[in-house]
A and B are shown apart, each in its own frame.
Chain A
Amino acid sequence: MTGKFLFNKKMILLGMLPGLLLYFCFFVAPSIGTFIFSFTDITQVPGKAWSFIGLNNYKELIFLSNGRDFLEALEKTFVFSISTTIIQTAFSLFMAVILCRKFVNYRNLYRTVIFMPTILGVTVTAFCFQLFFSIDGPAQKLLNLFGASSGFFGDYQWAFPLVIFCQIWMSAGYEMVIFIAGLQNIPEDIYEASNIDGSNEWQTFWKITLPMLWPTVMVNLSLCIIGSLSAFQIILMTTGGTPQTRTLSMFVYQVAFGMGTLDPNAGKQGLAAAMQIILFTFILIITVGSRYLMNKVNGED
């Protein structure tokens, strides 16, 4: 940057100003606001007086009456997040490896089909599965063949695994596309060398593909964990967040905005903010932890 060639600095700053203001006022400030709100008893009702109540929201969540709901939601969050992450990552890695094989014709068609739910979005996906798992839908007919039946999203045992399935169905394509991009970065000659050395496909995958792909795997794992910890839209749209399927992020929106299944605490946004902060703490620990692990693994190579 030589002193001679410069645009008018004021113009540059003027150009940045609207974006910075919008970003600060409607993104950064509300995020910080969530911390502040978690110490207040603010409600959804406009104009109602509110005050600071210290740590009461946190105490209420952990020790008081609805503490059991909260802990149950916390447990559901972890089950949801861990099972989604493991199954989704394994599935999308497997499909990515298969759909990069040269001998498979119409590879792009198959990739497009698996990626399609990302385009359809949560609303269409949720209605699609409500139909598929409706009382006289195809899934029910299939179960009837085996002499069984189920209430699916309304069922005590089935609802939660089904919601996890929907979440994976919806977001596996995105993860697969990232894996494919990572696989395409691996130089071809490495595979040729291992072929000449006579290693079979299983060995090639474990000894070459996976180590070379490791950075992408770590990125995908952390994206998937963070995404699934804060995913609630599919739950809201399929079951409405019944207690069997209520994860923490679902609970936050139920309490803050009275969405889905009615909760006695609906409208208490201070309480919801406190839940959000607890959820955020977990996300932060996992993000920092995975970064640390990632650097460690990369450093050893």
Chain B
Amino acid sequence: MRKLTSRFLVYFSILIAMLIFIVPLCYVVFTAFKLPEEFLSNPLGLIFSPTIENFVNSWQKANFGFYILNSLIYVTAATVLSLICSLLIAFPIARNYVRFSSGLYFFMMIGVFLPDGTIPLFQILLKTKLFNTRLGYIIAMLSIGGVALMFFVSYLKGIPTDLDEAAITDGCGYFTYFFKIIIPLSKPAISSMAILTAIGIWNDIVKAIIFLSDEKLFPITKGLFVFSGQYSTNWTELTAGLIIVALPLVVLFLYLQRYIIDGLTAGSVKM
């Protein structure tokens, strides 16, 4: 009897949690498939004839085709640059190939504890004429060091040193070895961190507002602001836009779930 009560409580709690997390998202999905008239006359109605008109309108109005291209450039450039730089620093630290490696590790981790530097970064980018440029925004979105570096160092330590020695005996150069052997061997670790970095960049809006001013340079999230006017919001098209923005990441997440979870937990459980 006691067991039954506790099972009932468990399922009841799960039900409540699912309601809290699913209902707002479902409401977005329902709204996105409703005709504007239907939404205005009965926003909560569950029975309606679904339409994809909102998605077509939304795509055109928000200029998503154009913004997605921007976002892809930012996500690719900032993710690749961050990860390669981090790996090139993490490898010598993991192997103790440089004399000051523990000091260097500390230096690369200290960034996590320093105060937010957005204001001076804004001034630096202004001074170097990188404000409101693609390059400037990519620089602002870089994340070198911190959790990713910690993750890479502990992963690279697991790759046997014998490989290094074999490569050196065969006369293989450092960069050839690094890009041909180490990078392919670290694929799982790289995938985890790549997805996490990419999610952060794809969803960013605040740094885009700070470091960009030209409409043409904005990432995809900017497109969503077309629909909210001063007095009213075009909800059916906005929700369609939300789905357009979120869908790529949701699909990516469902495919690569294990890597994402590994990357997220590695940093905090081992701390």
Instruction: Looking at the assembled complex, report how far the CB atom of A6 sits from the nearest CB atom of chain B, in whole angstroms.
Output: 7
- In the complex, the answer to whether A138 meets B21 with C-beta atoms within 8 Å is no
- In the complex, the answer to whether B123 meets A33 with C-beta atoms within 8 Å is yes
Across-interface contacts of B142 in A (CB, < 8 A): 22, 26-27
- In the complex, the answer to whether A19 meets B89 with C-beta atoms within 8 Å is yes
- In the complex, the answer to whether B13 meets A181 with C-beta atoms within 8 Å is no
A5 within 8 Å of B by Cβ?
yes
B103 within 8 Å of A by Cβ?
no
Within 8 A of B (CB), among A214-243: 216, 219-220, 223, 230, 233, 236-237
B85 within 8 Å of A by Cβ?
yes
- In the complex, the answer to whether B7 meets A129 with C-beta atoms within 8 Å is no
- Select A119's contact among B126, B177, B250, beta carbons within 8 Å: B250
Chain B interface size, under 10 / 10 to 19 / 20 to 34 / 35 or more = 35 or more
Instruction: Looking at the assembled complex, report how far the CB atom of B171 sits from the nearest CB atom of chain A, in whole angstroms.
Output: 11
- In the complex, the answer to whether A5 meets B169 with C-beta atoms within 8 Å is yes
B181 within 8 Å of A by Cβ?
no
Alpha-carbon distance A280/B111, docked complex (angstroms) = 13
A163 within 8 Å of B by Cβ?
no
- Select A141's contact among B44, B81, B224, B265, beta carbons within 8 Å: B44
- In the complex, the answer to whether B177 meets A7 with C-beta atoms within 8 Å is yes
Binds B, one of A59-67, A75-83, A108-116: A108-116
A182 within 8 Å of B by Cβ?
yes
- A-contact 0/1 string along B39-73, CB 8 Å cutoff: 00001100000000000000000000000000000
Instruction: Looking at the assembled complex, report how far the CB atom of B56 sits from the nearest CB atom of chain A, in whole angstroms.
Output: 19
How many residue pairs bridge A and B at CB < 8 Å? 248
Within 8 A of A (CB), among B209-237: 209-210, 221, 224, 233, 235
- In the complex, the answer to whether A259 meets B209 with C-beta atoms within 8 Å is yes
From known contacts A12-B174, A128-B25, infer whether A123 and B139 are also in contact, taking CB-CB under 8 Å. Answer: no
- Select A280's contact among B116, B139, B145, B271, beta carbons within 8 Å: B116
- In the complex, the answer to whether A34 meets B21 with C-beta atoms within 8 Å is no
Across-interface contacts of A190 in B (CB, < 8 A): none
B35 within 8 Å of A by Cβ?
no
Please tell me the number of chain A residues within 8 Å of chain B, measured between CB atoms.
94
A32 within 8 Å of B by Cβ?
yes
Within 8 A of A (CB), among B81-107: 81, 84-86, 88-89, 91-92, 95-98
Across-interface contacts of B122 in A (CB, < 8 A): 44, 256-257, 269
A211 within 8 Å of B by Cβ?
no
Alpha-carbon distance A1/B31, docked complex (angstroms) = 63
Known A5-B164, A99-B14, A113-B18; further 16 A-B contacts with Cβ < 8 A: A15-B91, A19-B86, A22-B144, A27-B144, A32-B114, A33-B119, A33-B121, A104-B10, A117-B21, A121-B249, A128-B24, A131-B238, A132-B23, A138-B43, A178-B265, A181-B268
Can you name 28 A-B residue pairings with CB atoms under 8 Å? A7-B174, A7-B177, A12-B92, A16-B88, A18-B85, A27-B142, A33-B121, A34-B115, A98-B14, A103-B7, A110-B14, A113-B22, A121-B199, A122-B203, A124-B245, A124-B246, A127-B242, A130-B233, A131-B238, A136-B43, A169-B21, A201-B6, A216-B269, A230-B116, A236-B206, A253-B118, A253-B206, A269-B119
